[in-house]
Chain A
């Protein structure tokens, strides 16, 4: 009971803040897991109440009230009917549980043959997410990082988002609790999962398999929006980067530095693939996989010294002067 009430409080509380609660699903797979959880919780809760009750009752009822040399109680060596009963009953319970689980495992595959509305590739890196939209026309690829935009669907028909999971280095795990359970990103293997987003909103998640120093700051957000705004976003993302005249100095500085060995800005000579694509950096809410907000101060701090925000990050300190940092940040801030 106390267990259940604490859980209830947790449920209520979890409606606040940046919600990552598994009890608040926004997707079919996550909703079916929640329902399964309630069922299994109900069964195990009943077993808990029964067995814990028996234990407490027996320990309390038969406690010795006063010390002394009273005779030993009756010695009972066992009872076959009882022992058969408490072997068979649990066997039946776990058999039922097993059937339920098998059903929901296969249910998770249901609709797998429907054509997906969108196919995305997520590539895990120490410690950020590379996001590639598949089935684009060649040359018009949308490539972004740490933020996955998806459509909610049209005419009340939720869009099925199919995700291909790969890793560039170690094992990571994709977990956005409101959308689906985890699937690992295993180097040398491609995993698949899918979800729907039944309502517009931002869904938070983060890497769930320990992947080294900055495992804690390998966060991800999924932005679900109406088909129209998704298309608008996608159209913009497919464009090469803007090249505004008032930031030429910063752009040239950027292109002359080794930044280009790691980052891509489409439409320029920067073609690196070690770090996140920066073509439309300013459309993203955070930098460094959620380690900091994407604002002027944090951008400056990040370029001045990535370790000050995310110790151990693979991005080196570029040792720029303050003026150079200003110029580069001014340029980056035009990348809408």
Chain B
């Protein structure tokens, strides 16, 4: 590698030669960008599906799309957003950033890494091919048996759902193994596990959670496949199978899945908030410990999705208690972030705007989660629009706001250019307004008795106004995303040059060029504290004296 001596000589070859290199790349940065771009495409598709859902519910007794199409739309919207948008986007950032943050040249298993990405891309594509094969999955994103059994779902749409998710699930498992191994064994000299950036720490536990949570889902999917294809009876209630077995297996994966989508977001926030407050994270140890506690408890709360299935009072109480308990470590993080902001010199640049948006919105999702954990309240609002409101405050107000902070924060590292702050502000304020207008009224519709997943409602039920507010909000959201996509596009082409370290940040990825050379670092850095670049910039008051 002659280029080792000339890091600046990172000249891109012409497009014609570039294309195959993206298809065959093993470089974690290219793979990360592939993840990010692919999931952006899925995000546009999933968003479009949501817009059609909202358009259908604009008026009572609407005939815009029929029940069949509507059921496909919300199933594909949910499936897409969870499996093909939020997760892979987080993996994209993880892939790109983790080797840079820990001072490594690549992931532990570059080939496995490429394999993971392609499995995700194929799995997503396969799921969408169902549209061409006569109809997309229409059983909801948690695909409750026995509705998914052959008796009630006779076309192949459900098979596409199973196979698509299994294929991408294989990729996800490989990613999880790769993340954990990389973080355990590839860290730069001096970077003990107690010194890794919190994003890295949280991605590691994300991987651990995935390794525990995915197998039950894969097992359940295979069982369902056997039921449908080979006449097995695991979930076939007509032949003595169990409907609730599916729910237990699914939610044993499905609840940790929520935290799988949330932990990396917490990690992003734990990087962005300190840099823009100009302060070290408040209570590194307790934020790190809270992550582990969340991971452990999240494996034991799954049946709070099942309070209405007729479990015993004792089980209801146990799962309710465990769900309440998870609020404590989550609250700890919240307070630590706020304490980090407190007393800082805050630069309200775009990443920080979205980070504060995250804190403000995620709090609401957390608190409605506490309401839902109170079993009798759940009996009323479970499976109503209240729940749809709640989990969008968690996944959209939470994870997606954090992901947006990540775009604005690390785009300069990936491209060497800054995103436009002016467009960012349009994006942020429209997204914040649109988000609340879309999802807050859903809580009210739910409390007024509106179940989720209904393609139509009659005017006399009194839900019209809340649905109309939601629909207007969704249009605002769509506009905000136009600003985002436009910003990505123009800034990538001719944005202001960022330099290597535009935010005056402290973790290792900012110590190299933007974009980094193939090998990341000319010389593997030696780390003495949690903020190696702070030490460099403040030799008079280095971090290690305080840790």
Interface of A with B (CB < 8 Å)? 3, 6-7, 10, 13-14, 16-23, 30, 32-33, 36-37, 40-41, 44, 47-48, 51-52, 54-56, 58-59, 62-64, 70, 72-79, 82-83, 86-87, 90-91, 94, 97-98, 100-102, 104-106, 108-109, 126, 165, 169-171, 173, 175, 177, 180-184, 186-189, 191-192, 204-217, 311-312
Set of chain B residues within 8 Å of A21, measured between Cβ atoms? 447-449
Using A18-B460, A40-B370, A183-B308 as known contacts, say yes or no to A23 and B313 having CB atoms under 8 A apart. no
For residue A279, give the distance in angstroms from its CB to the closest CB of chain B.
Answer: 27
Q: Assess whether B207 is interfacial by the CB under 8 Å rule.
A: no
Tell me if A18 and B462 are in contact (CB < 8 A).
yes
The verdict on A170 contacting B380 (CB below 8 Å), with A59-B356, A62-B342 known, is no
Inter-chain contact A62/B308, CB cutoff 8 Å: no
Are A6 and B377 closer than 8 Å at their CB atoms? no
Contact of A182 among B146, B325, B383 (CB under 8 A): B383
Across the interface, do B146 and A59 meet the contact criterion of CB distance under 8 Å? no
For residue B453, which residue of chain A has the nearest CB? A210
Q: A64-B347, A208-B384 are in contact. List 19 more A-B contacts (CB 8 A).
A: A20-B461, A54-B338, A55-B356, A59-B348, A72-B278, A77-B547, A83-B332, A90-B328, A101-B374, A109-B313, A182-B379, A184-B309, A184-B310, A186-B310, A187-B146, A189-B310, A212-B71, A213-B67, A215-B451
* B282 close to chain A: CB less than 8 A: yes
Given A17-B462, A59-B346, A106-B313, decide whether A214 and B67 contact each other with a Cβ distance below 8 A. yes
Q: Which 3 A-B pairs have the closest CB atoms?
A: A181-B379, A20-B449, A216-B454
- A213 CA to B456 CA, complexed, in Å: 11
B383 surroundings in chain A (CB, below 8 A): 173, 175, 182, 208-210
- Chain A residue nearest to B277 (CB atoms) is A62
State how many angstroms separate the Cβ of A165 from the closest Cβ of chain B.
8
Closest to A88 in B: B328
**CA of A14 to CA of B444, assembled, Å:** 10
User: Interface on B for A, CB 8 Å cutoff?
Assistant: 66-68, 71, 138-140, 144, 146-147, 151-152, 237-238, 240-244, 277-280, 282-286, 308-310, 313, 316-317, 320-321, 324-325, 327-328, 331-332, 334-336, 338-339, 341-348, 356, 359-360, 363-364, 367-368, 370-371, 373-384, 440, 444, 447-457, 460-462, 465-466, 538, 541, 546-547
B394 CB → nearest A CB, Å: 14
* A189 to B215 Cα, complex, angstroms: 27
* A216-B364 contact, Cβ under 8 Å, with A75-B546, A105-B375: no
Do B284 and A77 have beta carbons less than 8 Å apart?
yes
Residues from chain B with a CB closer than 8 A to the CB of A184 are 308-310
In the complex, A55 Cα to B240 Cα: how many Å? 54
State whether B381 touches A22 (Cβ < 8 A). yes
- Option from B244, B370, B378, B382 in Cβ contact (under 8 Å) with A97: B370
Q: How far is the CA of A199 from the CA of B380 in the complex (A)?
A: 20
Chain B residues in 8 Å Cβ range of A207: 451
* A191 x B283 contact (CB < 8 A): no
Q: List 15 A-B contacts (CB under 8 A).
A: A7-B447, A33-B376, A37-B371, A48-B367, A51-B335, A55-B338, A59-B348, A74-B279, A75-B279, A82-B339, A86-B331, A181-B380, A184-B310, A186-B243, A188-B243
Inter-chain CA distance A159–B465, complex, in Å, is 36
Name the residue in B280, B317, B344, B360 with the highest tally of chain A Cβ atoms < 10 Å from its Cβ: B344
B380, A73: Cβ atoms closer than 8 Å: no
Report the Cα distance A211→B153, complex, angstroms. Answer: 11
CB distance from A162 to the nearest CB of B (A): 14
> A32 CA to B356 CA in the complex, in Å?
37
Chain B contacts of A62 at CB under 8 A? 277, 341-346
Contact (Cβ within 8 A) B347 A212: no
A196 to B377, CA, bound (A): 18
Q: List chain B residues, Cβ under 8 A from A209.
A: 144, 308, 383
Return the chain B residue nearest A30 by Cβ. Answer: B380
User: Please, how many angstroms separate the alpha-carbon atoms of A90 and B308 in the complex?
Assistant: 27
User: Do residues B344 and A94 form an inter-chain contact, with CB atoms below 8 A?
Assistant: no
Complex Cα spacing A136 to B343, Å: 74
- When chains A and B are docked, how far (Å) is the Cα of A98 from the Cα of B321? 6
Evaluate contact between B284 and A78: CB separation under 8 angstroms: yes
- By a CB distance below 8 angstroms, the chain A residues around B71 are 210, 212-213, 215
Task: Output the nearest chain A residue to B322 by Cβ-Cβ distance.
Answer: A98
CA distance A217 to B454 in the complex (A): 8
Q: Which B residues lie within 8 Å of A18 (CB)?
A: 460-462
The residue that A52 contacts in the complex, of B237, B280, B348, B363, with Cβ under 8 A, is: B363
Q: Can you name the residue of chain B whose Cβ is closest to the Cβ of A94?
A: B324
A83 lies within 8 A of B147 (CB): no
- Which chain B residues lie closer than 8 Å to A186 at the CB level? 243-244, 309-310
**Which of A7, A16, A97 has a CB less than 8 Å from the CB of B444?**
A7
Contacts of B317 in A (CB 8 A): 98, 101-102, 105
B31 to chain A: closest CB distance in Å?
A: 35
Contact A183 B152 (CB under 8 A): no
With contacts A18-B461, A40-B371 taken as known, whether A312 is within 8 angstroms of B338 at the C-beta atoms is: no
Contact B308 A94 (CB under 8 A): no
Chain A residue at minimum C-beta to C-beta distance from B317: A102
CB B72 to nearest CB in A, in angstroms, measures 11
Q: Contact: A90 with B546, CB < 8 Å?
A: no
Contact A177 B461 (CB under 8 A): no
- In the complex formed, the residue of B with least CB distance to A207 is B451
**CB-defined contacts of B308 to chain A, threshold 8 Å:** 173, 181-184, 209
- Contacts A87-B332, A188-B237 hold; do A210 and B140 have CB atoms under 8 A apart? yes
Evaluate contact between A58 and B455: CB separation under 8 angstroms. Answer: no
Complex Cα–Cα for A76 and B140 (A): 47
Most buried by B among A7, A70, A170: A170
User: Within 8 Å CB of A101, what residues of B?
Assistant: 317, 320, 373-376
A216 CB contacts on chain B under 8 angstroms: 67, 453-457
Q: Which residues of A contact B152 (CB under 8 A)?
A: 126, 169-170, 212
CB distance from B454 to the nearest CB of A (A): 4
Using known A-B contacts A37-B371, A211-B147, A312-B68, determine if residue A64 contacts B345 with beta carbons closer than 8 Å.
yes
**Which residues of A lie under 8 Å from residue B455 when comparing CB positions?**
215-216
Chain A: which residue is nearest B449 at the CB level? A20
Say which residue of A33, A52, A165, A180 sits within 8 Å of B360 (CB atoms).
A52
- Which residue on chain A has the smallest CB distance to residue B247? A171
A77 partner residues in chain B, CB cutoff 8 A = 280, 282-284, 546-547
Of A63, A70, A108, the residue contacting B346 (CB under 8 A) is A63
Q: How far is the CA of A126 from the CA of B67 in the complex (A)?
A: 14
A79-B283 in contact given A55-B338, A64-B346, A74-B343 (Cβ < 8 Å): yes
CA distance A244 to B348 in the complex (A): 81
The answer for the CA separation of A98 and B325 in the assembled complex, in Å, is: 9
By beta carbon, the residue of chain B nearest A39 is B374
CA distance A48 to B316 in the complex (A): 26
CB pair B67 A187 closer than 8 Å: no
B452 to chain A, nearest CB (A): 8
Nearest-Cβ distance from residue B66 to partner chain A, whole angstroms: 6
Contact A94 B364 (CB under 8 A): no
Q: A55 to B360, Cβ gap below 8 A?
A: yes
Please report the C-alpha to C-alpha distance between residue A208 and residue B243 in the assembled complex, in whole angstroms: 16
Of chain B, the residue at the smallest CB distance from A209 is B383
**In the complex the two chains form, what is the Cα distance from A33 to B307 in whole Å?**
14
Q: Is the CB of A182 within 8 A of B243?
A: no
A6 and B360 contacting across the interface, CB-CB below 8 Å: no
A169's nearest neighbour on chain B, judged by CB, is B152
- Decide: B146 and A169 in contact? CB cutoff 8 A: yes
Select from chain B the residue with minimum beta-carbon distance to A219: B458
* B462 touches which of A14, A100, A180, A208 (Cβ 8 Å): A14
Contact A58 B341 (CB under 8 A): yes
Which of chain A's residues have a CB closer than 8 A to the CB of B327? 90, 94
From known contacts A182-B383, A209-B144, A210-B144, infer whether A191 and B310 are also in contact, taking CB-CB under 8 Å. yes
